[in-house]
Structure 1
Amino acid sequence: MTGRNATYRVSAYNTSKLSENKIHDDTVARKYGFSGGLVPGVDVIAYMLHLPVAKWGRAFLERGLIEARFLKPVYDGEIADVQGSESEGTLTIEVVSRGELCATGSAALPASAPAVALADFPAVAAIAERKPVSAASYEDGRWLGTVPRAWHTAEARDYLADIRETDPIYAREGLGHPGLLQRMMNKALVDNAILGPWIHVGSRMQLLSAADVGDELTARAKVIGNYEKKGHRFVELDALVVANGATPLAHCHHIAIYQPREQAAA
């Protein structure tokens, strides 16, 4: 990205039409008042990541900070304009689609990656048998693990195509896109409970090291919030995404509505 302002245009794609989370299914999403299935928040933040990576390159992948809040849905096949404006080292980012402000956020490049101790995030396994979600699934203070996941060469390439990423840095340097780390945050939720339709509403991600294609990823997540607001049930996670059991890749704060009010009242 050059200059103080930039726009990156994406033809949005719903990568989760067939996922367990039926908020991405057109029919179910309409029952919740949406126009169709939602493009996943983790993919919207992947669109947003294009601008800081274009600006700062590999340095951002090694120590960049991004925050995002999702305000309105982005829908499959619609154009999403990712708009960036730089001021005093901070890149303010907005996602606009169908004339609506859908997401806001910011990105910055700290002078160095903050020190995060692996020992402060104990490795735990995902539960052996998932049960239907309840408040007990995400008790405050509980540690959540994930089933390990790796995106090898072909899968990593397909992922870049799915999120419409055009930056050559990932293929050129064999790097995993940081949007994959956000997918691990979702896994911390879905690997530990059987959820109904649910919605990712916001994230903060401090990158600590660049991921390589084929890294085996896990998330070590602590529940730091489980509460009701406007009839929705929210969960907040503080987590470390780790490569190959040894290398911290990102320190993340993840917020989701795990029971929308229509479901909570059912």
Structure 2
Amino acid sequence: MTGLIETYRVEAYNTAKQSENKMHDDTVARRFGFAGGLVPGVDVMAYMMHLPVAAWGRAFLERGLIETRFVKPVYDGELAEVRGQETDGVITIEVESRGELCATGTASLPAGLPTLSISDYPATAPVAERKPVSPASYPLGQWLGSMPRSWAGDAADEYLDDIRETDGIYVREGLGHPGLLQRVMNKVLVDNAVLGPWIHVGSRMQLLNAARRGDEIIARAKVTGNYEKKGHRFVEFDALVVGNGITPLAHCRHIAIYQPREQAAA
């Protein structure tokens, strides 16, 4: 079966203007050659997830698989067009803004879920003192600590407003948006080092259970890659995102440039 999916249009919003990551700040981002502060990749990914949720509803939130790659920035206030085409149960997704391809991805509904045990992903305390980022911040094979987060009540509503989500399923069924699971993946990076400007490059997320609105969520992450490529320093994580300390919500692989070329050379 093949078919085009209705294009989803979002006026992009930079939710991270005041964040510690100054790649979302206009002045700093321009120093790295961008036109302005970048809309966070996790929020662009949230835009992309609108399509499979519109197609498959709660089933996607309970067992959907999505893979994304960010290739060009999406900027605050610009129109982002999220286009999809379904072929044999796989939705191919593209995000275009300002006439440029900004992100690509695929989404699907696997027939079965991987067998994962929380005991294989130990809970680890965050570092006592964050130090300036370096290759030593993310040792290969290391389990990284992080602090849990929750978005309940007004915070949950504000998040849906920030990502311009129009699907009523989250409020109607009291569910947490899967974009929040990506936010806690980013949190692993910042809970373990004082970063300069950095960039989320791509993610793979296999959802395991639908998150509930207000769940306390945390990513239990292990470093699976730490390397230099074209002057950038990359880190890769394998993680289980856990709700309320007991429920596996998603198995994630996360890739980020933790020291962009200009900064790495400084």
Same fold (TM over 0.5): yes
**Alignment check: 8 A CA contact 1:126 1:192 kept:** yes
The aligned residue for residue 227 of structure 2 is 227
Deviation at 1:178, TM superposition (A): 0.1
Aligned partner letter, 1:215? D
Q: RMSD across aligned C-alpha pairs, in angstroms? A: 1.0
Separation of aligned partners in 2, 1:214 and 1:88: 35
Cα shift readout 1:187-231 (whole Å, capped 9, x = no counterpart): 010001000000000000000000001111111000000000000
* Residues 105-120 of structure 1 aligned to structure 2 (within 5 Å): 105-120=105-120
Q: Distance in 1 between matches of 2:118 and 2:137?
A: 24
Residue 128 of structure 2: aligned partner: 128
* CA offset digits 1:158-203 (Å, max 9, x no partner): 0000000000000000000000000000001000100000000000
Question: Alignment partner of 2:224: what SS?
Answer: strand
| Counterpart AA for 2:133 | V
Amino acid at match of 1:103: A
Structure 1 segment 1-266 matched on structure 2, within 5 A: 3-266=3-266
Q: What letter is aligned with 1:256?
A: A
What's the offset of the Cα at 1:113?
A: 2.5
What is the CA–CA distance in structure 2 between the aligned matches of 1:167 and 1:145, rounded to whole Å? 33
What SS does the aligned partner of 2:81 have? strand
C-alpha separation in 2, matches of 1:4 and 1:43: 23
Tell me whether 121-130 or 174-183 shows the greater mean CA deviation. 121-130
Percent of paired sites with the same residue: 75
After TM superposition, give the deviation of residue 3 of structure 1 in Å: 4.9
Greater displacement, 115-124 / 92-101: 115-124
CA distance in 1, matches of 2:223, 2:242: 17
Structure 2: give runs of 5+ residues left out of the alignment: none
- What secondary structure is seen at the aligned counterpart in 2 of 1:258? strand
CA distance in 1, matches of 2:3, 2:202: 28
* Misfit runs of 4+, over 2 Å: 2-6
CA contact (8 A) 2:90 2:108 kept: yes
TM-score, normalised to structure 2, is: 0.98
Aligned residues: 265
Cα pair 1:210 1:249 within 8 Å, conserved: yes
Partners of 2:145 and 2:243 in 1: CA distance: 14
User: Partner of 1:191: helix, strand, or coil?
Assistant: helix
- Classify the secondary structure of the residue corresponding to 2:248: strand
- Does the CA contact (< 8 Å) of 1:124 and 1:220 recur in 2? yes
* Greater Cα shift, 171-180 or 108-117: 108-117
8 A Cα contact 2:3 2:87, kept in partner: no
Is the 1:145–1:218 Cα contact (8 Å) retained in structure 2? no
C-alpha distance in 2, partners of 1:250/1:178? 9
**What SS does the corresponding residue of 1:4 show, helix, strand or coil?**
strand
TM-score (norm 1): 0.98
- Matched residues in 2 for 1:73 and 1:65: separation? 23
Partner deviation per Cα, 1:29-67 (whole Å, 9 max, x = no partner): 000000000000000000000000000000000000000
SS in 2 for 1:66: strand
- In 2, are the aligned partners of 1:218 and 1:242 still within 8 Å (CA)? yes
Q: Deviations over 1:135-178 (max 9, x none)?
A: 00001001112111110121011000000000000000000000
CA distance in 1, matches of 2:128, 2:170: 34
